[in-house]
Structure 1
Amino acid sequence: MFQTFQATTSPDTGADRLSALRDQMLEHGVAGFLVPRGDAHMGENVAPRDERLAWLTGFTGSAGLAVALRDTAAVFVDGRYTLQVADQVDTEAFQTASLLDDGPIHWIAEQLPQGGRIGYDPWLHTRDELDRFADALEDRQVSLVPCPNLIDRVWRDQPDAPKGAVRIHPDDLAGRSHADKRAEIADALREAGVSAMVLTLPESIAWLLNIRGADIERTPVPHAFAIIGSDAAVTLFCDDAKLDADLRAHLGPDVAVAPPDGFGAALAALAGPVGVDPKSAPVWVADRLGEGSAEQVDLADPCALPRARKTEAEISGARAAHLRDGAAMVRFLHWLDTGAGDGPRTEIDIATALEGFRADTGVLEDISFETISGSGPNGAIVHYRVTEDSNRTLAENDVLLVDSGAQYRDGTTDITRTMAIGTPPPEACRAFTLVLAGMIDMSRLRWPAGLAGRDLDAVARRPLWSAGLDYDHGTGHGVGAYLGVHEGPQGLSRRSTVPLEPGMILSNEPGYYKTGAFGIRIENLLVVTPPAPVDGGDRDMLGFETLTLVPIDRRMILPALLTAEQRAWLDAYHARVLAEVGPQVDGAVRDWLEASCAPV
C-alpha cells in the first residue's frame, strides 16, 4: 500500500503544461485560471483524476492553489508546505507564496490589469470562496468567469473517475441505524425551516447512510451526492455499478438511488426553501438550484456535528483500534530501536516496515494517510512525503519523525513519534521536552463547556512560547470513525470556533521544526469526555481521554524541564501503555516495552 511520489522534474511539467493551459485561456477569453487542490466534494484527499494542481505544478501537498495568468503564475500553500513547495515546483515557471490571509487575492490584484477576467471551474470552488475573491477584487473590476476545466482539456492521459464499491458499515460499529440518523437530520431541517438539504461531502453521506466506499485512497468514502428531505427520505446520486444487492437492501425503501448525471436536473426541480452549505458545496449546486424555483438557504452541513459527536460504539471501536495499533507501533519501534534488518535503513524502509507491522494485524483496511518518515533535515518539512529522490539514509545521531495512521473497520488512528537514532543533539532534546510539556498540558486540561479549539490552542504552545519558539500549524484536528483522518468541524487551532463537545475525537500534536536540522512532533489522539466534577470546584468540567497507547522516547526527554505534574502524567501514561499493550506483545518486544515505559 505504501506509495512514493515520483520526481516532479519531467520535461512536460511546469513550463510546458503552463503553456498549454495558457493556450486554453486565450481560447476561452480569460486572462487567468484558478487551479485548486480539490475536487467537487472539497475533500482533502482526491482521486488521481482530480490531482490537477500536482499535474500542473508538481506540488503534491494536501492544500494549495495555483493561479495562472498570461505572463506569470504562482502556487500558494500554507505554512506546512513552505519547504515542500520550494522543492517540488519549477520556480522559473511558478512563484511560490502563502495561501493564508488572502494571499492569492492580493497577488491577483497586483499582477492582473484592471478589468481582467479570471476563469474558474464551478465544480471546484464554493460560493464563500468565490464571494471572497469577488469582493476583494471589485475595486479593480476583476470578474470571475465560470468555464470548463481548462486543465482537463490539456491533460491528455488524465485517469478515469473512480468506481470503488460501496459497502455497508454495520450498525454495531456505527452505534445508530441510518433510519435514526435520517430522522435526526430531518428534525434539524424542519427546525431550520427548509424542506430539503443538499449534501455534497462524502463523509457526511457515508455517516448518514452507514456506508463506506473506496473511491479515494486512505479515506473510505464513496464519491456521491445526496438530497435529504424534511421527511427523512434521501436520494443518493451514485454510480449504480458501485452498489450491490446487499447494499441496496441496507438502504431500504426510503433511500432512492439515482445516476450522478441526474443530480443537476434534481436540483433544478426542487421547490421551496432548500439548504446548501456555502462553505462546502460547489457553486455549481447553487447555479443549478437557481435554474428552478427553489429558495436557496445558507445552512451548515447538518451532518457535521452529529458525525463529530461519536457514539459509545464508535468510542469503544476507537479504543480497540488504538490498542491494536499501539501493539503494531510497539513492534515497529522495537524493530527500529534494536537494529533489526541488515545494513543501513532509509526513510522508505521505515515507512514500508511500519505498514508491514500494521498489516500483520490481519484487519488493516488501509493506512489513513501517506506516512511521513522524515530524518534529520527532512523532519523539519512539516508534511514531508518521501520520494525516491529525497529518500535519506538514517545516520547516527539523527532525529527521526514518523507521522502515520491506520484505517480499521472499528476506528481511524493517527500518531506521531519522534525518535533518537543514536545520541540526539542537545538542542533537539530541549525542543522535544518543550513540545512534550505542551502535549501533556493539553492532555491534562479541564475546561468549561462552550469553549472552542481556539480557546485551548495556546495551552500546548505555552512551554515553547516561554522559550521563544512556536510552530506554524494547528495543535490538533478532528478525526473520524473509520472515515477521514482529518475531520471537521472540531479542531484545536486558532481558527477553530466550534465548541468542543463530548465524544469528539481530536489530535494533540504540538511540534517544533528547525530548518535544515530536525523536526519534532509528538501526537496522541484524544476524545472529549463528558462534564464531571473537579475536586474543590463548583462546576463540572469537560476533559480528555487519551486514546493512543505508544511509549514516548525517554532518551530525548530532559526531566528537569518538566514540572512535577507533567512527569507524573508521563509516568502514569507509560504505566497505562505497559498495562494495556503489554499483554499484546511478548518476548523481546515485551522486554523492550517495559524498559521504554520505565518512570522518568
Structure 2
Amino acid sequence: MRKQLTDLRRRMVQEKIDAYLIPSDDFHGSEYVGDHFKCRGYVSGFTGSAGTLLVTADWAGLWTDGRYFLQAAQQLDGSGITLCKMGEKNVPTEEAYLKETLRPGQCLGFDGRTVTAKRFHALETALDGLDITFRTDVDLAGDGWPNRPPLSAAPAWALDEAYCGRSRAEKLAQIRRLLSERKADVLLLSSLDDIAWLLNLRGGDVACCPVVLSFLALTASDTQLFVNPSVLPEALKNALAADGITLAPYDGIYAYAAALPAHSTVWLDEEKTSCALWRAAAHCPIVSAANPTLLPKAIKNAAEIANERTAHLRDGAALTQWIFWLKATVGRSLVTERSAAEKLEALRARQPHYLEPSFDPIVAYGSHGAIVHYSATEESDIPLEPQGFLLSDTGGHYLEGTTDVTRTIALGPVSADMKRHYTLVLRSHLHLLHAQFLYGCRGSALDMIARQPLWQEGLDYNHGTGHGVGYLLSVHEGPNSFRFRSAGQDAVLESGMILSDEPGLYLEGRYGIRLENLLVCEERFENEYGRFLGFSPLTMVPFERSAIDVALLSPQERQWLNQYHAAVYAALAPLLEEADRFALAEATAEI
C-alpha cells in the first residue's frame, strides 16, 4: 500500500469526502502536463500520460487505455490500486462505478480546475437522482504533496511570421469573424496550444510542448491574455500591446468569467475548459462547441508545410545516421535503450534550429517493444544485442515544425515470423499512405484501409492508426485522426492537415513492431465525381529491408516501397557523409 494513498484517505476523512477523483489534466485540458500537475502520478505511482485515479475509503482504482495496460500493471503492483482496463469486458467506467458504489448523501470531491466541464457533466448525469454532493474546490492530492514542483515560469517568445506564415493580427481577425458568426460575445480559451497558435507565442512550460501557461478572453474589441507577466520579455509585451492584447494575472480568468454580464453569450469548449471555469461563467448563455481555433490550426498554410519539409529532412538525416550507428555499434560496444536514446538526441541537437524532443522517446528492445508507450527507466533499461527488433518512436521540435517518426530496426538476425509480421505492418502503412479518397471522407473510414492487411491475417493493434500533428506545438493535435473506433468524433480531412500513419503489431513478451511517417493531406484532382485528395510523406527515413519478406508484397506494394526509398535517398544523400551515403544506398536499394 502506497503511503500517498493512505495520506489521501486521511485527508478525505477530514474533509468529509467519500470518493475523490484525480485525473491526468492540468488547468487547460492538456494531454501532456507540467510537473506541478502530476498529482495522479504522485499518489498512484503510475507515470503514463493518460489515466484517472478514483479513491474511496476502502478501494482505489486507476483507469487507463490499451496503450498503458502493461506499464500500469507493472507500476501499480503492490500499490493497493486496482488497474481498470478501459474498454475491456466487465470493466465499468468511472461514472458507472461511482453510480454503483456511492450512497445517497455521500460526497464526491475533485479539484474543479483539473476536471473538464465535459467530464463534470458526465458525472452529474451519471449520479443524477442519487443526492450526491460535489466538492470541486479541494486539491487534496496537491495540498498533501511535499515539495510539489511549482508552476512553471519559463520564458515566452514570439514565433516569427517566416515560420508560422500568418500574423497574430490576421489570426485574431479570423477568430473574431467566427465568434460573430456564432453570435457569441466572449470566447474563453483555456487550451495552451490554441492560445500559442493564435498569438504566435511559444514557451517552455510543458516538457516537449513549447507552450505558455495562460488563458485568453476574446471579444469583438478586446483581447486579454491571463499569464504570469514575468515570463514575457519587454519586446514581446510591446508586440502584444501593439496588436491590442492586454495582460492580466494568470489566475484572474475565474474572476473575469464570474464578472461577465449575464447577457453575454460565452463560447467555450467543454472538452478543454475546466469545471471551475465553466461554473464561473455558468450565469451566462453558453455556446458549447469546439474552439474556433481548432480547425484553422490543423490546416497548415503553405509556409508551414514548406518549413515542415525542411524540418523532416533534418530530422530524417539525424535518425538515419543513428540507425547506421546502431548497426555498427551494437555487439561491439555496450549500448542500452537509454544510451541509444541519448545518442539520437545528440544527433538531433546538431541539426539547425532544433529545440527539444516532441515527446519522451520510446526506445524499446525485444519484449519491451510490445509495451506501446514504453519509457526506459534506470530500473528497466537493458543492453541492446545484435539480434531481434528495436522499436524507436521519437520526434523533435524545430523552428520549422514538429516531427514524429517510428522505425522498427533489425539489430541482427530475425525469425521468419518477425519478417512476416514486419511486412504486414509495412503493407498497412503503405496502403494508408497511398489511399486516394473523395473530399468529405473522415480518418475513421481510412483507418480500415490501413488495417486490412493485418485484419486479413486475424491480427490488430490496440491504438489508432494516426493522429494530427501541430506545428511546433502538440505532437498530438485534433480534430483529425485515423481511428475507426472513434467514428463521428473526427473531422473531415482537409488539404494541409498533417497526420501520422503508424500501424503496429505487439506480441506480449516477444516483440513489438510499429512503422510511422507523418503525411500531409493534399489535393489530387477534381472531376465530375468531386474533389479527390491523397497524402504525401513528410518523413524521410528508410524502412528495414532485412526484415521484409518480399514474397508477401504485391507488385504494387513493391513499387510503392521502391518509390519511397528512391525519394528518401534523393532527399537525404546530400545531407550525409560518404560512409552514411553508402549505407543509405544499400538501405534504399530496390527490392
- Tell me, yes or no, whether TM beats 0.5: yes
1:93-108 to 2 correspondence within 5 Å? 93-100=80-87, 103-108=93-98
**Does residue 578 of structure 2 align to residue 581 of structure 1?**
no
Q: Aligned match of 1:284 in 273, 276, 283? A: 276
Cα distance in 1 between the residues matched to 2:460 and 2:102: 36
Deviation at 1:140, TM superposition (A): 4.8
Q: Could you say if the C-alpha distance between residues 428 and 113 of structure 1 is closer, same or farther in structure 2, counting changes exceeding 3 Å? A: farther
Deviation at 1:378, TM superposition (A): 0.4
1:58-207 to 2 correspondence within 5 Å? 58-100=45-87, 103-138=93-128, 140-207=130-197
Q: Aligned match of 1:511 in 493, 504, 509? A: 504
**Does residue 540 of structure 2 align to residue 549 of structure 1?**
yes
Cα distance in 2 between the residues matched to 1:274 and 1:107: 33
Cα distance in 1 between the residues matched to 2:465 and 2:302: 25
Cα distance in 1 between the residues matched to 2:471 and 2:386: 39
Give CA deviations for 1:209-228 in whole Å, capped at 9, x if unaligned: 11101111110000000001
Counterpart of 2:237 in structure 1: which amino acid?
A: R
Counterpart secondary structure, 1:123: coil
Give CA deviations for 1:392-450 in whole Å, capped at 9, x if unaligned: 11234221100000010111000000011211122121111111101000000011111
Q: Aligned match of 1:431 in 421, 425, 437? A: 421
- The answer to which of 571-580 and 268-277 deviates more is 268-277
Deviation at 1:65, TM superposition (A): 0.4
Counterpart secondary structure, 1:252: helix
Give the aligned partner of residue 10 of structure 1. Answer: none
Cα distance in 2 between the residues matched to 1:482 and 1:388: 30
Deviation at 1:88, TM superposition (A): 1.0
Counterpart of 1:313 in structure 2: which amino acid?
A: A
Are 1:445 and 1:543, in contact at CA under 8 Å, matched by a contact in 2?
yes
Counterpart of 2:218 in structure 1: which amino acid?
A: I
Cα distance in 2 between the residues matched to 1:248 and 1:181: 18
Are 1:69 and 1:112, in contact at CA under 8 Å, matched by a contact in 2?
no
Q: Could you say if the C-alpha distance between residues 341 and 583 of structure 1 is closer, same or farther in structure 2, counting changes exceeding 3 Å? A: farther
Cα distance in 2 between the residues matched to 1:261 and 1:463: 51
Give the aligned partner of residue 500 of structure 1. Answer: 493
1:345-424 to 2 correspondence within 5 Å? 345-424=335-414
Question: In the comparison of the two structures, how many residue pairs are matched?
Answer: 582
Are 1:286 and 1:296, in contact at CA under 8 Å, matched by a contact in 2?
no
Counterpart secondary structure, 2:558: helix
Cα distance in 2 between the residues matched to 1:106 and 1:559: 49
Counterpart secondary structure, 2:535: strand
Give the aligned partner of residue 5 of structure 1. Answer: none
Cα distance in 2 between the residues matched to 1:446 and 1:48: 42
Cα distance in 2 between the residues matched to 1:429 and 1:51: 40
Q: Aligned match of 1:318 in 302, 308, 313? A: 308
Cα distance in 2 between the residues matched to 1:560 and 1:179: 56
Q: Percent identity?
A: 36
Give CA deviations for 1:461-481 in whole Å, capped at 9, x if unaligned: 100000000000000011000
Are 1:73 and 1:95, in contact at CA under 8 Å, matched by a contact in 2?
yes
Are 1:226 and 1:236, in contact at CA under 8 Å, matched by a contact in 2?
yes
Q: Could you say if the C-alpha distance between residues 351 and 286 of structure 1 is closer, same or farther in structure 2, counting changes exceeding 3 Å? A: same
Cα distance in 2 between the residues matched to 1:341 and 1:554: 20
Q: Aligned match of 2:317 in 318, 323, 327? A: 327
Counterpart secondary structure, 2:462: coil
Cα distance in 2 between the residues matched to 1:16 and 1:567: 57
Cα RMSD of the aligned pairs, angstroms, is: 1.6
Are 1:449 and 1:531, in contact at CA under 8 Å, matched by a contact in 2?
no
Cα distance in 2 between the residues matched to 1:546 and 1:250: 36
- Normalised to the residue count of structure 2, the TM-score between the two structures is 0.96
Cα distance in 1 between the residues matched to 2:378 and 2:442: 41
Are 1:49 and 1:159, in contact at CA under 8 Å, matched by a contact in 2?
yes
- Normalised to the residue count of structure 1, the TM-score between the two structures is 0.94
Are 1:268 and 1:294, in contact at CA under 8 Å, matched by a contact in 2?
no
Cα distance in 2 between the residues matched to 1:255 and 1:152: 32
Q: Could you say if the C-alpha distance between residues 193 and 34 of structure 1 is closer, same or farther in structure 2, counting changes exceeding 3 Å? A: same
Are 1:405 and 1:415, in contact at CA under 8 Å, matched by a contact in 2?
yes
Q: Aligned match of 2:8 in 14, 18, 21? A: 21
Give the aligned partner of residue 241 of structure 2. Answer: 252
- The answer to which of 524-533 and 566-575 deviates more is 524-533
Cα distance in 1 between the residues matched to 2:456 and 2:418: 16
Counterpart of 1:500 in structure 2: which amino acid?
A: L
Are 2:439 and 2:530, in contact at CA under 8 Å, matched by a contact in 1?
no
Give the aligned partner of residue 583 of structure 2. Answer: 592
Deviation at 1:45, TM superposition (A): 1.3
Deviation at 1:570, TM superposition (A): 0.4
**Does residue 530 of structure 2 align to residue 539 of structure 1?**
yes
Give CA deviations for 1:99-120 in whole Å, capped at 9, x if unaligned: 3486222333344445432111
Counterpart of 1:67 in structure 2: which amino acid?
A: L
Cα distance in 2 between the residues matched to 1:38 and 1:274: 23
Q: Aligned match of 1:31 in 3, 12, 18? A: 18
Are 2:466 and 2:501, in contact at CA under 8 Å, matched by a contact in 1?
yes
Deviation at 1:266, TM superposition (A): 1.4
Cα distance in 1 between the residues matched to 2:589 and 2:136: 61
Q: Could you say if the C-alpha distance between residues 141 and 395 of structure 1 is closer, same or farther in structure 2, counting changes exceeding 3 Å? A: farther
**Does residue 449 of structure 2 align to residue 459 of structure 1?**
yes
Counterpart of 1:513 in structure 2: which amino acid?
A: Y
Give CA deviations for 1:235-277 in whole Å, capped at 9, x if unaligned: 0000010111111122134111111132222112223111111
